[in-house]
Amino acid sequence: MKAEILIIDDNSDIRLILDELIKDAGYKTRLAANYNQALLEIDKKIPDVAIIDVKLDKGDNDGIELLNHIKSKDKDIPVIIISGHANIDMAVNSLKSGAFEFIQKPFDKERLLNFVKRAVETFNLKHENKTLQNKLFHTFELIGTSNNISSIKEQINKLSDSESRVFISGPTGSGKELIARKIYKKSKRSKNPFIILNGALLDAKSYEKELLGEEKNDGSISYGALEKASGGILLIDEITEIPLETQSKILRILIDQKFKRINGNHDINVDVRIFSSTSKDINEQIKQGNFREDLFHRLNVFNINVLPLSKRTEDIPLLVDYFIENICNNYNIKPFSINNNNYLLNYIWPGNVRELRNLIERITILTQGKNEEKIINIIKESVNQYNEKQFSINETLSFPLREARENFEKEYLLTQLRKFGGNISKTAKFVGMERTALHRKLKLLGVKDLN
């Protein structure tokens, strides 16, 4: 596919020269004659490369503003800045703002074409790297036939046609971002940005800047997540980590549908569908005063709750087969099977689906799927590293008595079963139970034989 170059210049002669020059070199072009036309073209469809004149009809540095606007949407888009009033400071400032190259009018045609060629190569390389990373580290398939996953798939189909806000809860690694992406891909906003603001990764002082953006003293603008996601979807991940003061501002934005950048004087209208997610108990966070109840009710128009993998073990064999096929394909390895899934089915999976995927990738790399004994040993080592840790009495205290007793019994019996290699008779003798009674107890606790 031909790369598309957006040419922005208020001089019609320059636009015509650039248009013909770049088309003759085998690229597609789009043209904009002023600042507002340029904004419309950028927002309509982000180009592969942009060529922008520094001075248009809005001000002395409106080309730099357009550069910042493009970078807010996709920081990897190469932008070539051109100017007929160039000086060293202007060149330095444009490069500091993220310009790919700076060239002065009148420009040498061969030199400009060389810049365009390198910019397209750079864009293609970064695009290929993104595609590879998505293949290696992200799956956009929601795998499972459990009641929980089946219900979520139905919700995704219904919510895709909606503009409603969605609140997704579930433990770490269970697939909350994946669910948000699935709704996004099926929605009317799928051609616009999908931006993630991770509350757990930000310094407390950075939240508002990352969310709202900032107008700096030198006139430059740092765009926040709300503007970057304009027309698309903003996922606020681990939203319970956001400070109460910032929560108040989010609530006001949801009510007014507008906001001001930090140090800004003008209102900016919001056209963003907001998703939120948390791995914490949101009701407990509200009780403890860590999260505003009125904000939660604004965000929680639709609620999706993802169960931990240990609560939907019927999905594990399907996930194992899917990850084997997916990862083997990425590494050009012949797919293989794991014939004994019992260790996987009885494991607690504290890291959920992400932990399972990582384990399958580790098995694939270390065994190439050719040594069944080595595969089982890697699985045993992985599950025992967690299960050999002492059962925490502090965790038990947070459960009702019946659930705490069941958790303890399950952990205790699993530990003894592994110690005796899954042998029911030896385990029953050690724990002081009849063999048939142990079978009944294991079935009641949802533990499958390890053999």
| pLDDT tens-digit readout, 279-315 | 999 999 999 999 999 999 999 999 999 999 988 989 9
The neighbour count for residue 368, using CB atoms within 10 Å, is: 14
- The answer to whether 164 touches 302, Cβ cutoff 8 Å, is yes
CA atoms within 13 A on the CB side of 231: 11
Q: With a threshold of 0.85, does the pTM exceed it?
A: no
Which CATH number characterizes residue 82's domain? 3.40.50.2300
What are the backbone dihedrals phi and psi of residue 79, each rounded to the nearest 5 degrees, phi first?
Answer: -125, 125
Question: Comparing C-alpha atoms, which of 284, 287, 297 is closest to residue 247?
Answer: 297
Under DSSP, the state recorded for 173 is T
- In the prediction, which pLDDT does 28 show? 93
Render 384-451 in DSSP notation, one character per residue: HHHHTSPPPHHHHTTS-HHHHHHHHHHHHHHHHHHHTTT-HHHHHHHHT--HHHHHHHHHHTTPPP--
- The answer to whether 144 touches 318, Cβ cutoff 8 Å, is yes
List of the chain residues with pLDDT < 70: 1, 59-61, 86-88, 128-140, 204, 218-220, 384-401, 403-404, 418-421, 448-451
Burial class (CB in 10 A: 0-12, 13-18, 19+), 216: exposed
Q: Residues 61, 65, 67, CA angle at the centre, nearest 5°?
A: 110
- In the prediction, which pLDDT does 392 show? 46
Domain hosting residue 19, numbered range = 4-135
Same domain, 289 and 361: no
100, 135, 170 - which closes a domain: 135
Which CATH number characterizes residue 379's domain? 1.10.8.60
Q: Answer whether residue 118 is part of any domain.
A: yes
When divided into structural domains, the chain yields a total of 3
Same domain, 218 and 352: no
Beta-sheet pairing, 221-223 with 213-215:
antiparallel
- In the prediction, which pLDDT does 388 show? 44
- In the prediction, which pLDDT does 251 show? 95
Pairwise CA distance, residues 232 & 414, whole Å? 47
- In the prediction, which pLDDT does 153 show? 95
Residue with the two structure tokens 């906003």 = 189
Cis check: omega of the bond before 106, within 30 degrees of 0: yes
135, 167, 185 - which closes a domain: 135
Pairwise CA distance, residues 38 & 56, whole Å? 10
Same domain, 326 and 397: yes
Same domain, 39 and 108: yes
307, 334, 364 - which closes a domain: 307
Q: What share of the chain is helix, strand, coil (3-state, %, to 5)?
A: 55, 15, 35
